[in-house]
Amino acid sequence: MADVATRAQNGLQVRSPFGDWLGWDPFRNFASSPNLAPGIEVTRSETGYAVEVPVPGYKPDQIDVTLDEHVLTVAGKAEKRQFTRSLLLPEEIDAETIAARVEHGMLSLTLNFHPKAQPKKIAVESSGN
């Protein structure tokens, strides 16, 4: 049932709390658009992903971004409102380089891929013959 409770795009998945609570997501068809969930934009590049989450009216200190076992959770809590969004990240994301920035009501997340191993040149020596 986990596949019913998640929606995927570009290798990222967003988890619906309804799938966890009910065993299936009654609202899955409403968010079946190319976006992960309403308002979330994901762009893939050669170096990783750029994720934008609208957070109008939230200050940076009212937003928490956490990563636990490949699940990135964005939570906002203000005086009279709150929200939570969770993304299941692919293993190729480098957790140490995730960056988050809020500007003009938009939370921008930078999710870089692990650095790829560079080929190493091996010198060939002569035995003197």
Q: How many domains does the chain have?
A: 1
Q: Please tell me the predicted confidence (pLDDT) of residue 93.
A: 92
pLDDT digits (tens, 9 = 90+) for 83-123: 999 999 988 899 999 999 999 999 999 999 988 755 678 88
Residue 71 included in any domain: yes
- The Cα–Cα gap between 107 and 5 comes to 24
**Spatial contact of 1 and 19, defined as CB atoms under 8 Å apart:** yes
For residue 91, the domain's CATH number is: 2.60.40.790
The percentage of the chain sitting over the pLDDT mark of 90, rounded to a whole number, equals: 48
Residue 14 included in any domain: yes
**Spatial contact of 2 and 15, defined as CB atoms under 8 Å apart:** no
Q: Which domain holds residue 83?
A: 6-112
Residue 16 included in any domain: yes
In single-letter form, the type of residue at position 78 comes to A
- Closest CA relative to residue 52, chosen from 6, 18, 11, 85: 85
Full-prediction pTM beyond 0.75?
no
- Closest CA relative to residue 52, chosen from 33, 36, 68: 36
pLDDT digits (tens, 9 = 90+) for 2-47: 333 344 545 565 555 545 555 555 444 444 334 456 678 999 988 8
Residue 23 included in any domain: yes
